[in-house]
Amino acid sequence: MQLETLTIVGVGLIGGSIGLAARRRGAARHILGVGWRAETLETARRLGAIDQGFLALAPAVSNADLVVFCTPVQIIAGQVLEAAHSCRPGALLTDAGSTKAALVAAIEAGLPGNVRFVGSHPLAGSEKRGPEHADPNLFQDRLTIVTPTSRTSPEALERTSTFWQALGSKVKQMTPADHDAALAFTSHLPHLLAAALAGALPDRLRELTATGYRDTTRIAAGDPTLWTGIFLQNREAVLAALDQLSSQLDSLRSVLAAGDERILHQLLEQAKRVRDALGS
Amino acid sequence: MQLETLTIVGVGLIGGSIGLAARRRGAARHILGVGWRAETLETARRLGAIDQGFLALAPAVSNADLVVFCTPVQIIAGQVLEAAHSCRPGALLTDAGSTKAALVAAIEAGLPGNVRFVGSHPLAGSEKRGPEHADPNLFQDRLTIVTPTSRTSPEALERTSTFWQALGSKVKQMTPADHDAALAFTSHLPHLLAAALAGALPDRLRELTATGYRDTTRIAAGDPTLWTGIFLQNREAVLAALDQLSSQLDSLRSVLAAGDERILHQLLEQAKRVRDALGS
């Protein structure tokens, strides 16, 4: 498939990478970008991520075959509903947000009947921001979750999956709720832990950190506004994941307090097995 | 300074890196290694980390000016006391263990009067193991903590500091107890968190992990035997650090449960500030 016009709303690290990947792989003939700041749009254009930048949604989406929203999760639903009214009939809209249930529900409740929306979440990214960190291979061999519902047409689902595959990604279907419960554990919880660990570090101990501490807290450098939105949109699932982790920590605490060498070794060995299986 | 003979007990990642750094920087004329397995010693010799390998302590330390113990923390004290009886008068012994108070106390209680011991901990390493991962620049611009006590002679402390500086390291003095409290927070606690997070991951969620989860859990791939020893040797300080982290997590939990966007953003911003200050 080649799209005639692809519009990317939000040309930061993810949006910029979508543009670069689509161009390199010939997935779209024209690539338009929407942003809040002319400077960011110009950077994205200069790097080849988009052909043309727009500061408003309507003119950028009016001719698009596909519009992908790469903005903070708390504003995606509003933008999709706003853009939908300027899209031509048959246009497909999707997103790259880290949470799905709340925004998919809000969008399905208000979407005009002549356009389609399918939620997406490419499991790729970085704690960095901006189109200058975009990477045309960001999605290569990574997994993108698409989240159809009972209201999703098979044809829209197929087009969404084909788009991500065209960028080099593998695709997996999950319900929005299953996605959010899973990502609460594999992505949002690690961020909360990293933030807790970094936030609790007294100044005088900074010089005593080494690679282990730095690896464990790396994602705490992520954008606070972006992550505040993610945590609030997925609050219940994140709280459940946190409680699950807290019981695991309580077990480790009891075993350590009891000085039980054998069980402590077993728990660390089990953790190592899981981590080794994930690769570097 | 150039040592005539440096003996490294335990030629894994740390011991091997000490050998490579000492050779490259001309810090020792002869470098001997002690290990349990002939094969590991042969690897270390082939890579240039040691000149000669020994399967027993006594013959390897008898002519050493400096002996550095790079073995698991739970066996360092016993090895130092055993080796001390075979050392020549005036020999200096040190170690690279991740905990200090318990082993320094055990060593000072039993050390013969004609040799010296000063505890050390280079803040460098990796979750990898073995001399094949040794790196001559492992200590370059990193910090090594040396932990003198009221029984440490200024001359032994000076020689120990000079040795680590000769390998490219900066050196900082702390008491064994201060070291253990600090490292409980900056190193042992992150390991415990990484292990809890990895250990709690259900199999079905493995494919849904991305770079954030992988960074946060990377150190859980460390050697379980090594880390069981570290946790047990530094049990009280690790439990205190864990309790500190648990209150930080409880605060985050309450703020999230209350949906307090402003405070959540502040906490994430504070964590980002700390993490940004540490660099990559």
Task: List the single residue in B with minimal CA-CA distance to A219.
Answer: B212
What does the pLDDT read at residue A1?
A: 67
* Cα A137 → chain centroid: 16
**Gap from B212 CA to chain A (nearest CA, Å):** 6
Q: Which residue has the higher pLDDT, A127 or A207?
A: A207
B139 vs A contacts (CB less than 8 Å): none
Taking CB atoms within 8 Å and a gap of at least 24, the contacts of B154-158 are B155/B116, B156/B92, B156/B116, B156/B117, B156/B118, B157/B118
> How high is the mean pLDDT of chain A?
96
Nearest to A216 among B193, B259, B270 (CB): B193
Nearest to B195 among A215, A231, A268 (CB): A268
A127 has pLDDT over 80: no
| Tens-place pLDDT, residues A265-279 | 999 999 999 999 998
Q: Whole-angstrom Cα distance, residue B183 to residue A100?
A: 39
| Tens-place pLDDT, residues B4-60 | 999 999 999 999 999 999 999 999 999 999 999 999 999 999 999 999 999 999 999
What distances in angstroms separate CA B117 from CA A114, B1, B15, B161, one per listed residue?
Answer: 79, 19, 18, 12
% of chain B at pLDDT higher than 90: 96
What does the pLDDT read at residue A157?
A: 98
**Residue B1 binned pLDDT confidence (cut-offs 50, 70, 90):** low
ipTM: 0.91
What does the pLDDT read at residue B47?
A: 97
Lowest mean pLDDT among B45-54, B90-99, B118-127: B118-127
> Residue B186 and residue A197: Cβ atoms within 8 Å?
no
Give, in degrees to the nearest 5, the angle at Cα A117 between A111 and A118: 145
| Tens-place pLDDT, residues B220-266 | 999 999 999 999 999 999 999 999 999 999 999 999 999 999 999 99
| Tens-place pLDDT, residues A22-64 | 999 999 999 999 999 999 999 999 999 999 999 999 999 999 9
| Tens-place pLDDT, residues B184-196 | 999 999 999 999 9
**Gap from A104 CA to chain B (nearest CA, Å):** 20
Tokens of A155: 């044809």
| Confidence (pTM) | 0.91
Tokens of A181: 């419960």
Instruction: Pick the residue of A75, A99, A169, A186 with the most B CBs within 10 A to test the interface with B by mutation.
Output: A186
